[in-house]
Amino acid sequence: MGNIRRALGFDYGTRQIGVANGQSLTGNAEELCVLRARDGVPDWEQLGRLIREWQPTDLVIGLPLNMDGSPSEMSARAEKFARRLHGRFNLPVHMVDERLSTFEAKSSLREAARSPGSYREQPVDGLAAALLLQSWLASLDEESA
């Protein structure tokens, strides 16, 4: 068995960024928090504290492509965020296609909610970050199989 990889996953958005934590031993990821962002720019100090606290070996960022797989304005912004993360923290950064993670997160919350529609009161960003991180961790298993 190789080294255990610990990762922080980010569901990038212009107003908030969902953050999740996971590791390769169990392949599980869980939502940590949602960071506020100002026009896509997070509080870098707060982000730095998270990285120091969790000590990830990898950073995973969701890439919001259009449903046909073409890049979007948001995917360009997410890639810029990924480059800044790498530049500031010098950790490997991985982009993961997140086309269905937000949809899946909303579906999960909708199923968990007792009354239809109440999922809207809960931000999906943390859960979406956990789902995209989980898919990245699963891809590590496939690579080593």
Render pLDDT for 85-104 as a digit per residue (tens, 0 to 9).
999 999 999 999 887 655 56
Q: How many CB atoms lie within 10 A of CB 134?
A: 20
Of the listed ranges 5-14, 42-51, 55-64, 135-144, the one predicted with least confidence: 135-144
Tokens 């993360």 map to which residue? 85
The residue with greater pLDDT, 108 or 45, is 45
- Does residue 131 form part of some domain? yes
CATH number at residue 7: 3.30.420.140
- Does residue 68 form part of some domain? no
Q: Which domain holds residue 19?
A: 1-61+124-145
CA distances to 37, 45, 82, 108, 110 from 79, rounded to whole Å, are 16, 20, 5, 27, 29
Please name which of 17, 30, 21 lies closest in space to residue 127, comparing C-alpha atoms.
Answer: 30
| pLDDT of res. 6 | 96
